[in-house]
Structure 1
């Protein structure tokens, strides 16, 4: 029951606009539809244990409450940040009590990834025997942050950040709730949605600030005035969480895909999120080695030079050098031939154990070594025709391998010609040797 004093306290706009029915949820259309999981739950009025994975402000808590209403379950909310084992025990005891009377309990755990392994394990027996239905909310990748046993007993629903139409729908609802329009120009309204960065709760909080502004005779706020009244949402970027790896993956794949514009976008997204430019520099160097390789040997030097330039100039000037390296890598010819050759040769080297080099390429610094054949038959390449002997340098009894397969792009076109040239000479020398 709401007390007299609580009823006199104004509820935040975001709370007043919280959906009361599933059809009022915005931005998650992929969960509805004829075969959508939320549609099935509504039709059967049965809710299984679920992990809701999505960014802040996308509606995870709201969906959990609506699921409890669908199945007519008692709603027990907990935050993993502020709760411990003692709090969980109390919830389990209340759930047992309800079960004895035929009622069921939905336990909603916000930020469930904050619970450690032991705390996550404590849910299992109560989920298995039906004492509780668990709904966990997380902004982190459940594959990495939740126990396999808990994941195997839950359905994972992926929620998306709210897109522009969904954010606009929230603004319209806020205006209907307040009874008047936001004091914004069309351009400022677009900017306001962009400032929310997909977070519906943050958008409504900013809108509430704008609704509280005193009436002005100067007309609606423009973009510049809007920026002075409300603050842009800080981008989601934790160097230890999933977004960190998502963005570096996006940068790497944009470079590999030869798209300098997309690569620059993800590069700047990382910097805007507070990433250490030296980390980006190291990853750019790796891209030069892994994805460009000898198709453009200059790429590695460009990255090293950009890294050194950043270390000498610092931010923000040094970041331009890194940005230019991003452009160069994206437009450079691509080859992973060297990367593949290294990996294949490393595997063969491990698999063949302790095979010794052929005797003719072993040094013979002692008389005994010479007597047992070390160095016998070695052909000094500089003294041979074309400066190439064509001798075998692999261990005796091991079939010759070809690890490096240069591509027909960039500088590796020339290297392809050299590989083919030496292969032809090798065949000629071997044929000549067999005839002799």
Structure 2
């Protein structure tokens, strides 16, 4: 169909979306990716040599990945071929590779742009390796997901990963001004509404220009405030894939904010997840982890506090349930911190793996049969409640780990309740030494 339009001279009369009409014609015109396309950018340097290796473009939607791939093909005089992993199977891939081999035979290279490359399975990704290695194609794969998790190691070893950034405020404003210049009129927005429009785009230039095109179609004389803008265009949901990379990124930000005792940041990242559609149970689960791993014995009430808030949330539901979520976040974030118990158990696990099946002291083994009694099981056990302070000071470690070789995993600090725990341990250590005659 496109060939018929071109042949008939009708292509110029076909309406083109604003995003297409504003598409950059040179790398230097790409906005928001100056670290790649600016004078000192990686891609600018690579194209200076008229050739480059295969690349993976990783970044959110609407940041120019497709446009940059087209410009690279143009500037290096490669044939541009575009496919989508969503709609392309093995048979189609074979045809693409055969066509590229044919072009190569007559001296024409091929830049193959694969959108959503992470959608290909392992076998499909492996099929690119031979044609990448023999130079049949220069591959540029685009993905919104972390390549480390979604792409085969073999493919990644043959391609350089370049990160595209969500468009910042300056890049967004630059696009708005370009659109106004091209259309010969200003956007019908008051200053606050113009700022709100940039926020609605959430760093996606393609989505932004779609909104701009809708606004430029309003009658002359329109001048929208923020409320009128919200009524005119629908606000976009934040980019957030609950099952993929962004899910784990925001959980990491949330947990680290809790650990760093930054209650405001913790509230923000939790809100980002909830607004993005995350199950509140996921947030509560991470709160439980932080209450144990990072607060621990410095405030033993942190865990029951989170569990109680979670239970209340399950019973009451949303929206009132956000009160319980907020309280739990505030409690864990502002609680004194200690990972001593967590670190102690890690050390105990490591020692258990290293030392194997050391026999426990027979004195602390039960002796339910006569044979076990005859073998010395339970002999010499001292019942702690028969001693002052309910502490006998007996040895519970295997012989090979007792006395001077006794491990000391748990080292409480001076923060919160753990300060009291430390005093108890020091007291019991003194009693143990006295009652063991050391």
CA distance in 2, matches of 1:335, 1:184: 52
- Give secondary structure in 2 for the equivalent of 1:364: coil
TM-score scaled to structure 1, two decimals? 0.95
CA distance in 1, matches of 2:322, 2:73: 50
Match among 410, 417, 422 for residue 411 of structure 1: 417
Moved more, 149-158 or 374-383: 374-383
Q: Residue 406 of structure 1 contacts residue 412 of structure 1 at CA under 8 Å; is this kept in 2?
A: yes
1:183 aligns with 2:188: yes
Map 1:160-171 → 2, pairs under 5 A: 160-171=165-176
1:380 aligns with 2:386: no
CA distance in 2, matches of 1:31, 1:7: 32
Alpha-carbon spacing, 1:122–1:368, altered in 2? closer, same or farther (3 Å): closer
Deviation at 1:183, TM superposition (A): 0.6
Match among 110, 121, 126 for residue 121 of structure 1: 126
Partner of 1:87: 92
Q: Deviations over 1:252-298 (max 9, x none)?
A: 11111111111111101101111111121122111111111111111
- Give secondary structure in 1 for the equivalent of 2:321: helix
Match among 125, 131, 137 for residue 136 of structure 2: 131
Partner of 1:317: 320
Partner of 2:245: 242
- Give secondary structure in 2 for the equivalent of 1:284: helix
Structure 1 residue runs of 5 or longer lacking an equivalent are none
Partner of 2:433: 427
Q: CA RMSD in A?
A: 1.5
1:355 aligns with 2:351: no
Q: Residue 46 of structure 1 contacts residue 70 of structure 1 at CA under 8 Å; is this kept in 2?
A: no
Moved more, 315-324 or 221-230: 315-324
Partner of 1:63: 68
Q: Deviations over 1:113-149 (max 9, x none)?
A: 1111111111110000000000000000101111111
Partner of 1:301: 304
Shift >4 Å, 4+ stretches: 32-35
Match among 132, 136, 154 for residue 149 of structure 1: 154
- Give secondary structure in 2 for the equivalent of 1:75: strand
CA distance in 1, matches of 2:150, 2:160: 15
Deviation at 1:94, TM superposition (A): 1.6
Q: Deviations over 1:339-361 (max 9, x none)?
A: 11122212322333322220122
CA distance in 2, matches of 1:381, 1:214: 87
Partner of 1:226: 229
CA distance in 1, matches of 2:409, 2:87: 56
Structure 2 residue runs of 5 or longer lacking an equivalent are none
Q: Residue 28 of structure 2 contacts residue 39 of structure 2 at CA under 8 Å; is this kept in 1?
A: no
- Give secondary structure in 1 for the equivalent of 2:306: helix
